[in-house]
Amino acid sequence: MNQNLRVLVAQANATVGALKLNYEKAISIIQKGHKENVDIIVFPELFLTGYPPQDLILDQHFIKDNTKYVEKLAREVSQTIVIIGAIHRDKDDTYNAAAVIQNGAIIKWIHKSLLPTYDVFDEWRYFKPGRDNEPVEVSLRSGKTLKLGIHICEDLWDKGMDYKVCDILGDKGVDLFINLSASPFHYRKQYERGELLLAKVNKYKKPYVYVNLVGGQDELVFDGESLIADGRGRWLHIGSKFKEELAIVNIAFGDKAETSEEKKFPGFPMERELFEALVLGVRDYFYKTGHRDAVLGLSGGIDSAVTAAIAVEALGNEHVTGVAMPSQYSSDHSVNDAELLAKNLGIRYEKVPINDLIEAFQNNFNNSIDEKLSGIAEENLQARIRGNILMSFSNKDGSLLLTTGNKTEIALGYCTLYGDMSGGLAVISDLGKKEVYAIASHFNMLKGYDVIPENTITKAPSAELRFDQVDPFDYDIISPIVNDIIERQLGVEQLIAKGYPQDIVHDMVNKIRNSEYKRQQMPPGIRVTQKAFGMGRRMPIVNHYSHNEHKF
Amino acid sequence: MNQNLRVLVAQANATVGALKLNYEKAISIIQKGHKENVDIIVFPELFLTGYPPQDLILDQHFIKDNTKYVEKLAREVSQTIVIIGAIHRDKDDTYNAAAVIQNGAIIKWIHKSLLPTYDVFDEWRYFKPGRDNEPVEVSLRSGKTLKLGIHICEDLWDKGMDYKVCDILGDKGVDLFINLSASPFHYRKQYERGELLLAKVNKYKKPYVYVNLVGGQDELVFDGESLIADGRGRWLHIGSKFKEELAIVNIAFGDKAETSEEKKFPGFPMERELFEALVLGVRDYFYKTGHRDAVLGLSGGIDSAVTAAIAVEALGNEHVTGVAMPSQYSSDHSVNDAELLAKNLGIRYEKVPINDLIEAFQNNFNNSIDEKLSGIAEENLQARIRGNILMSFSNKDGSLLLTTGNKTEIALGYCTLYGDMSGGLAVISDLGKKEVYAIASHFNMLKGYDVIPENTITKAPSAELRFDQVDPFDYDIISPIVNDIIERQLGVEQLIAKGYPQDIVHDMVNKIRNSEYKRQQMPPGIRVTQKAFGMGRRMPIVNHYSHNEHKF
C-alpha cells in the first residue's frame, strides 16, 4: 500500500542570539504548516539560537532563555510533528539538540553525536556528544506511525568515524532519515552532501530529508540547498541556493512508490556560485549588524571593482559610496576607471585627493623629528591616510567600510594594516586573484555590458604607492600556489613535486608565515572555500617553523 | 631502606615551531644532567614543538620533523631517563605525548588523556585522547627499578571528569607521579596547581614531580613555578616564577624519608605577579618575533605610563621610544607628564603635535566633499592620525608599536580602531583600570620614587579628544563590573543580585556586546586573568542576544 507523507522543509534564516525573533519566525512557519496540513515540519540545526552561537553557549541565561522559548513554542504545536534545532541542557550536560514536538509537548530530545571540532567548528568546546541514538516512533494525524531516524548535521559526516549515527539508526530500523543541518557553504559543497546522503539511502533503502540553514553569520554563509531523496535514491527536492524557502514535499512510501519527475542539481558555474554566496554574506552581515550603507575605496583596480559590484547587488546602488583617493602616484586611468565604474553601478562617487595630506604628514615629521618618510614607511602612510578618510566617511555617515583585499595578497601580506585592511567586512578575502577576475567577467555578463570597465580587467594590477609600481607577483603563477598552501594544505615537498618552482614555493611559504600578525587583525571575511583565513585557520604569530631547514 | 632519586627539573623556555632550537636546548640540558649524574630529567609538555603549536599540527611536515627530532634526541641519551613532551603520530592518530627515553631509544610513548577544549585551549581540534594509562617501569643507573606515573598537564585537572588519569595510575601502583605541563599563567594559578597536586599525593602517599613550561607565546605567558612534593605532601621544590631554571632535586624514598626544610610559596602581592607576567610576555613576544625596539604613544595618562614602564623593564630603556602627540585639546600637564615620565624612564622621547594634520584633513574634506568632521568622526580622526604617526615610527625604525588600552575600556569599546588600537601587542589589555593603578604604584615603589609622575596617578582619566573631556565612567564602579562580566562570566541577574545598579549593568552588557567587532581586530594581548579577550573568548559579532528582553 502506498502512502504519502507531507513534509515542510523550513529552509529559513535564523539570527544568532535572536531567540525571540527566531521563535516568532518558527511560529509563523508552524502556522503555515498547520494550515497546509503537513505531517512533519523540519527546521535546521540550532534554528532557535542561530548558528554558531559560539561563547553565548557559556552564558547560563542564554541556555535558560533558549529552553523557555522551546517550551513556549511546543505549546503552539498541534498534531503536526515539529522538529527544531535548539540547545538541550540536561542536568549539567549541554547538547546540540533537536526537539521533537507534538500536541503541545516536547516528546523527545535528540542529541548530536558527532561534534565537529576542526576548521571553523568548535563543538567540543560547548557540547557533550549524544550516545543515545534511537529511532523516534511518532503517530501522524492519519493514525499511521512512523519511525524517524533523526540526527544532526555532522552525524551524517561519519567517514573515518568509529561511531556512525545513521547506521545505528538504520540498523535499528527507521522509515525515514531526517537531518537538521547548519552546514556552511563552500564551493561545490552541495555535491558532497548529496553523495553522503545517497550512500545512506542506498544502504537502507529509506527516504532521507536534509534541511539546511540559510543566511550569513559573521564569516559563514549557509547556502540552504536542502535535499530530499526517496528510498530509491532519486531527488524529490533540491532546495534553493542562498535563499529562504518553505517547500512542502510529498514523500511516497511503499514498494511501488511512484516518484514524480526526479529533480536535478542546477549546474551553476563556479563564478556564479561564489558571487551569490558573497552577495548573501554581505547582505546578511549588514542587515544583522544593523547597517544599510557601505563605503569603499575605488582604486580603479579589479579588487575594489568586484567588491563594489557585490555590494551593489547585496545592498542596492543607493546604499553604496565609492571614494577615489588619488595621489601623485595614481595614474589618470585609475581615477577614470574608478569614476566610470561608479557611474556604471549608479553609486555615489566621491573624489578625495590625498597629496596635501601626504605633504602635511611629511612636513610635520620634518618639523618635529627632522626626518621624512621614505620606502615602505611612505607607502604605508599613503595607505593609512586613505584608511583614515574612508573611516571618516564610515563614522560621519554611519556606513560600514568594506575592505577590498583578495586572498592571494592577504596571504602574502601584500596589504597595509590600518590602511587598505581597515574596514568592517573583508568581502573578497577568500577569493584568489583568479577567482576575482572570473567574478568580474560573470558580473559583466550578467549585466550585459562592461559595468566593470574593460581596462580594469585587462591592465596590470598595481598598488600605485610609488611611480611605475606594479604588483611584484605573476598572479597566474602564485594565485594557485597560495590556494594549494591554504586550501589544500600542501607542504613544500608536495608543492615542488607538483612542479611549482622551488624558490617561489619557499618564498610564498615564508611570506604567508611572516604575515600572520596582519591577518590576526583583519576584519571578518566571507568564507567560500574549504579553508579561509579567520576563525577556521589558527596559526600562531610566534612561529619559527620552516620545513626547509630540517635536513636529517 | 631510604633511597634518593636525583631529578632534574627542566623548567625551560621553548619556542613554537623552532624544532631545531628546542632540540638543541634539550640536548644541552640533557648533557648537563648526564654530567650531574641525575636519574631522571623531566621537560615540559610539548617542549620540542613549543606550546601551543596550534594549526602547525595540521601540517604533516611538521609532525614528521618533530618525530625525526625526537628520534635524533633519543640517540643522545644515556642511562639517564629523559621524559620530554612531543607530538606522537601513531598510524593515523595524533597525540599530545611524552617520550620516555633511555639508552638511545624511546622506551615508551605516553599519551595525554584529558584534552582541554575551553578558553584558550583547542586540543580536541588536534589530538586523540590517550586511553592506555599504565605506570612505566624504568631501571635507574643504580639498578633500582621505579614505577613512574607519567601524565600530561590537564590529566591532573580531573575535577568533574569521569576519567581520572592520576587515579588510574595510582591505583595500578606507582612510586612517583610525573606531570609534564604547559600551564599558562593567570593570577594565583600556582595555588590551584599545588592544591590539585597535593590531593593526589595525599591520596596515594607518593611523591609528585610537576614540570611547567616558562615563557611567552602570543597571548599566553607560562610562569614555570614547577613543583615537587614528597610522599607526605611537603614541598621539596617550588620553581622560580617567570624564569628559566634547571633545578636538581633529591627525592628521598622509603618509610622514614627525611626531607630537608620544606619550601614555601613566595608571597607575591597581586601587582608584582601581574607586572612580572607582563614583563615576560612583552620580552618574549619581542624576542621571538625578532624585534628589539618598542614605540608607543605617551598621553600623560596612566595607561601609557604603565605600558611604558613594563616595556622598559622588559626591553631596556634604550629600546623604548615614547611619542607625545598633543592636539589643541591636550592640556599642558599631559605633555609635561609624558615628558617627565620619559625622562624618568630614560627613554627616547619625541613630540609630534598633530594640530596641523587635523587641519589638513578638515581642509581636505572641506575642499573635496564640502564637509567638515565633527563629533565622533572628528574624535576618531585625531586618534587615527596618532595611529598613523606611531605606525610611521614603527615602519621607519623597525620597532613594534605597543597599544596602551586597558581591559575596562576595551570591554566597553571606549577605544578607536586604527587609532589607539593600532599596534602589534596590547600590553595591558587584560588589566582592569584598578589593576593598572596598582601596578603603577608597585613600579614606583620598586624604583624608590615617582617614576610614573604622581600627577599621572591622581588626575582624572581623559582621552582629551575634545575640550574638558573626561572619561565618561567612574572606574571604581565599572572596572569591577567588567571583571565580573568577563572573568567570572556573571549574567545580568547575578550582577544585579550582587548590588550593582541595574541601569549600569545593562549598559555595560550592551556596550560589551556591541563592541565585539572592535576586539576582533585588536592585536594579541597578554593574558593574566582567567578570561582575557582574544583566543579564549569567542563571541559572535552578529549577536542579537539580550537577556533583559526575555520576560516570560
The shortest CB-CB distance from B384 to any of A15, A365, A388 is to A388
- Chain B residues closer than 8 Å to A17 by CB: 540, 542-546
Cβ within 8 Å, pair A56-B387? no
Cβ within 8 Å, pair A61-B361? no
Say if residue B90 is exposed, middle or buried (CB neighbours under 10 Å; 0-12, 13-18, 19+). Answer: exposed
If we measure between CA atoms, which residue out of A511, A541, A514, A524 comes closest to residue B426?
A541
Within a 10 A sphere around the Cβ of B246, how many other Cβ atoms? Answer: 17
* Catalytic, out of B25, B108, B123, B153: B153
Interface with chain A: mutation pick from B545, B549, B552, highest number of A CBs within 10 Å:
B545
CATH 3.60.110.10 fits domain A3-257 = yes
- Chain A residues closer than 8 Å to B524 by CB: 520, 541
Cβ within 8 Å, pair A59-B545? yes
Look up residue B178 and give its three cell numbers. 610525573
Q: Nearest-CA residue of chain A relative to B60? A: A491
Say if residue A445 is exposed, middle or buried (CB neighbours under 10 Å; 0-12, 13-18, 19+). Answer: middle
The shortest CB-CB distance from A350 to any of B369, B377, B384 is to B369
Domains A3-257 and A272-472+523-540 share a fold: no
Whose cell is 611611480? That residue is A467
By the 8 A CB rule, do B441 and B457 touch?
Answer: yes
pLDDT score at A254:
65
Interaxial angle between packed helices A375-397 and B375-397, expressed in degrees from 0 to 180 and rounded to the nearest 10: 170
pLDDT score at B118:
98
Please identify, in words, the CATH class of the domain defined by B3-267.
alpha beta
pLDDT score at A255:
56
Tens digit of each residue's pLDDT, chain B (552 residues): 457 899 999 999 999 999 999 999 999 999 999 999 999 999 999 999 999 999 999 998 999 999 999 999 999 999 999 999 999 999 999 999 999 999 999 999 999 999 999 999 999 999 999 999 999 999 998 889 999 999 999 999 999 999 999 999 999 999 999 999 999 999 999 999 999 999 999 999 999 999 999 999 999 999 999 999 999 999 999 999 999 999 999 998 765 555 567 888 888 899 999 999 999 999 999 999 999 999 999 999 999 999 999 999 999 999 999 999 999 998 888 899 999 999 999 999 999 999 999 999 999 999 999 999 999 999 999 999 999 999 999 999 999 999 999 999 999 999 999 999 999 999 999 999 999 999 999 999 999 999 999 999 998 888 888 888 887 888 889 999 999 999 999 999 999 999 999 999 999 999 999 999 999 999 999 999 999 999 999 999 999 999 877 777
pLDDT score at A461:
84
Inter-chain CB pairs, A–B, below 8 Å: 262
Look up residue A130 and give its three cell numbers. 549524544
Cβ within 8 Å, pair B521-A522? yes
Whose cell is 589530538? That residue is B127
The predicted-structure confidence for A180-198, as pLDDT tens digits, reads as follows: 999 999 999 999 999 999 9
B252-280 exposure pattern, b = at least 16 Cβ within 10 A, e = fewer: bbeeebebeeebeeeeeeebbbbbbbbbb
Cβ–Cβ contact A405 with B under 8 A: no
The shortest CB-CB distance from A16 to any of B517, B544, B550 is to B544
3 state SS for B233-261: CCEEEECCECCCEEEEEEEEECCCCCCCC
The shortest CB-CB distance from B541 to any of A492, A521, A524 is to A524
474-503 in A: which are within 8 Å (CB) of B? 489, 491-493
State the Cα–Cα distance between residues B337 and B451, nearest whole angstrom: 10
Say if residue B496 is exposed, middle or buried (CB neighbours under 10 Å; 0-12, 13-18, 19+). Answer: middle
Say if residue A408 is exposed, middle or buried (CB neighbours under 10 Å; 0-12, 13-18, 19+). Answer: buried
Q: What is the DSSP letter of A128?
A: P
Q: In what order do the strands lie in the sheet with A245-253?
A: A105-111, A93-102, A81-90, A40-42, A3-11, A245-253
Look up residue B515 and give its three cell numbers. 563592541
CA distance B447 to chain A (A): 30
If we measure between CA atoms, which residue out of A433, A26, A542, A506 comes closest to residue B524?
A542
CATH fold, domain B272-471, is Rossmann fold (3.40.50)
Q: Is A501 left (phi over 0), alpha (psi -120 to 50) or beta?
A: beta
Within a 10 A sphere around the Cβ of A100, how many other Cβ atoms? Answer: 22
Residues of A involved in catalysis: 45, 112, 153
Give the sign of the dihedral formed by CA B223, CA B225, CA B226, CA B231. Answer: negative
Look up residue B86 and give its three cell numbers. 612531543
Give the sign of the dihedral formed by CA A69, CA A71, CA A75, CA A76. Answer: positive
Cβ within 8 Å, pair A542-B16? yes
Cβ within 8 Å, pair A21-B356? no
151-190 in B: which are within 8 Å (CB) of A? none
The shortest CB-CB distance from A364 to any of B352, B524, B538 is to B352
Task: For residue B153, indicate whether it is catalytic.
Answer: yes
340-359 in B: which are within 8 Å (CB) of A? 350-354, 356-357
Cβ–Cβ contact B75 with A under 8 A: no
Whose cell is 621610544? That residue is B321
Cβ within 8 Å, pair A524-B520? yes
CA distances from A360 to A115, A382, B298, B371 (A): 56, 12, 22, 19
The shortest CB-CB distance from B422 to any of A353, A361, A418 is to A418
Give domain A272-472+523-540's CATH number out of 3.30.470.10, 3.30.70.20, 3.20.10.10, 3.40.50.620. Answer: 3.40.50.620
Cβ–Cβ contact B361 with A under 8 A: yes
The shortest CB-CB distance from A55 to any of B354, B424, B539 is to B539
- Chain B residues closer than 8 Å to A493 by CB: 61
* Residue B85 dihedral angles phi and psi, to the nearest 5°: -80, 130
Question: Side chain identity at B59, as an amino acid letter?
Answer: D
Cβ within 8 Å, pair A364-B373? no
Who contacts A541 (Cβ-Cβ below 8 Å, separation ≥6)? A516, A517, A520, B218, B289, B524
Tens digit of each residue's pLDDT, chain A (552 residues): 457 899 999 999 999 999 999 999 999 999 999 999 999 999 999 999 999 999 999 999 999 999 999 999 999 999 999 999 999 999 999 999 999 999 999 999 999 999 999 999 999 999 999 999 999 999 998 889 999 999 999 999 999 999 999 999 999 999 999 999 999 999 999 999 999 999 999 999 999 999 999 999 999 999 999 999 999 999 999 999 999 999 999 998 765 555 567 888 888 899 999 999 999 999 999 999 999 999 999 999 999 999 999 999 999 999 999 999 999 998 888 899 999 999 999 999 999 999 999 999 999 999 999 999 999 999 999 999 999 999 999 999 999 999 999 999 999 999 999 999 999 999 999 999 999 999 999 999 999 999 999 999 998 888 888 888 887 888 889 999 999 999 999 999 999 999 999 999 999 999 999 999 999 999 999 999 999 999 999 999 999 999 877 777
Cβ–Cβ contact A387 with B under 8 A: yes
Within a 10 A sphere around the Cβ of B143, how many other Cβ atoms? Answer: 6
Q: Nearest-CA residue of chain B relative to A398? A: B377
pLDDT score at B94:
98
**H or E element that contains B73:** helix B60-74
- The residues spanned by each domain of chain A are 3-257, 272-472+523-540
By the 8 A CB rule, do A71 and B503 touch?
Answer: no
Whose cell is 557559556? That residue is A58
Q: Nearest-CA residue of chain A relative to B128? A: A117
State the Cα–Cα distance between residues B288 and B279, nearest whole angstrom: 14
- Chain A residues closer than 8 Å to B552 by CB: 68, 72
**H or E element that contains A174:** none
215-274 in A: which are within 8 Å (CB) of B? 216-218
- Chain B residues closer than 8 Å to A539 by CB: 54-56
Question: Side chain identity at A146, as an amino acid letter?
Answer: L
Cβ–Cβ contact B316 with A under 8 A: no
Cβ–Cβ contact A59 with B under 8 A: yes
185-214 in B: which are within 8 Å (CB) of A? none
Interface with chain A: mutation pick from B392, B484, B489, B519, highest number of A CBs within 10 Å:
B392
CA distances from B79 to A242, A315, B40 (A): 65, 71, 9
Cβ–Cβ contact A72 with B under 8 A: yes
- Chain B residues closer than 8 Å to A365 by CB: 352, 392
The shortest CB-CB distance from A542 to any of B15, B381, B542 is to B15
Within a 10 A sphere around the Cβ of A98, how many other Cβ atoms? Answer: 29
* Angle ∠(A196,A199,A201) on CA atoms, nearest 5: 110
CA distance A445 to chain B (A): 33
Task: Please count the residues of chain A.
Answer: 552
Provide DSSP, A527-552: --SSS-SSTT----SS----GGG---
Give the sign of the dihedral formed by CA B355, CA B357, CA B360, CA B362. Answer: negative
Cβ within 8 Å, pair A550-B68? yes
By the 8 A CB rule, do A198 and A229 touch?
Answer: yes
The shortest CB-CB distance from A543 to any of B56, B68, B545 is to B56
Cβ within 8 Å, pair B395-A388? no
pLDDT score at B266:
85
